[in-house]
Amino acid sequence: MFNQIFSSKRRIFIVTSVVIFLLICIFSIIITLSRQGKLPVVFSIVPSSARITLENNTIGNGTQYLTAGSYKIKVEQPGFDSQEKTIVVTDKKKQNVVAVSLTPQSDDAKKWAEKNQKAYKDNETFGGLEAQENGQYFRSRFPIIEKLPYTDPYYKIAYRTNGDDIIITIDTDSPRYRYFAVQKIRELGFNPTDYTIDFKQFKNPLEVTHE
């Protein structure tokens, strides 16, 4: 009798163990397939309870898996200023990191921030890592930014990021020096036609102002 009970419990234990093992295997396979072709992206957000919206989809704080590309994100929390930014996910970075620290506005939010200074301090590390990775990525793709900004007494050549691309900016109100600025880009060893150029003080002479 005792042997039968023991044998029955042993069979139940074995069957249960096999079922649990199979469930773990199935779950692991599902997770692996869902991450196939995707890259880990670390989201470090303060407060950690803030709502993160990525291209109209809500995601969580921590590590998320995304396909390579450019994304717009919005981070918001009641009582805090919301922030929006464009991120670039790529295997050209050693680590894809997104760090956002929201600025408190309401009295309750300010009290929370005062009690959680360590969270803000710790997030500065992730912010520094994000800036470093982004800087290295854009320098490798666009060597011209190593030469910028370039300042002349009559014009300035700089750049700004635009998602996964950059825009060269030329700041001068003189058509003559706009030309010289473009030639300077050639002198620096780059082809101006490879870039989108924004002439910051350009005014279209064909535009008519109606008063």
130 lies in the same domain as 55? yes
Domain extent, residue 148, equals 143-199
- The answer to whether 182 touches 150, Cβ cutoff 8 Å, is no
Q: Looking at the domain assignment, is residue 210 inside a domain?
A: no
DSSP tag of 174: -
Q: Looking at the domain assignment, is residue 56 inside a domain?
A: yes
Provide the pLDDT for residue 1: 54
Q: Which residue stretches of the chain have pLDDT < 70?
A: 1-15, 17-19, 21-37, 202-211
- CATH number of domain containing 71: 2.60.40.1120
The number of residues making up the chain comes to: 211
What six digits make up the tokens of 39? 């890259």
Stated pTM of the model: 0.67
> Which among 135, 100, 91 is positioned nearest to 120, based on CA atoms?
100
Pairing assessment for the beta strands 96-101 and 39-46 based on DSSP bridges: parallel
What's the pLDDT tens digit per position in 12-40? 666 676 667 666 656 555 555 555 568 99
92 lies in the same domain as 135? yes
Provide the pLDDT for residue 23: 65
Count of domains in the chain? 3
Residue tagged 């919005």 (tokens): 74
The secondary structure element, H or E, covering residue 74 is strand 69-76
128 lies in the same domain as 190? no
Q: Looking at the domain assignment, is residue 204 inside a domain?
A: no
Provide the pLDDT for residue 211: 42
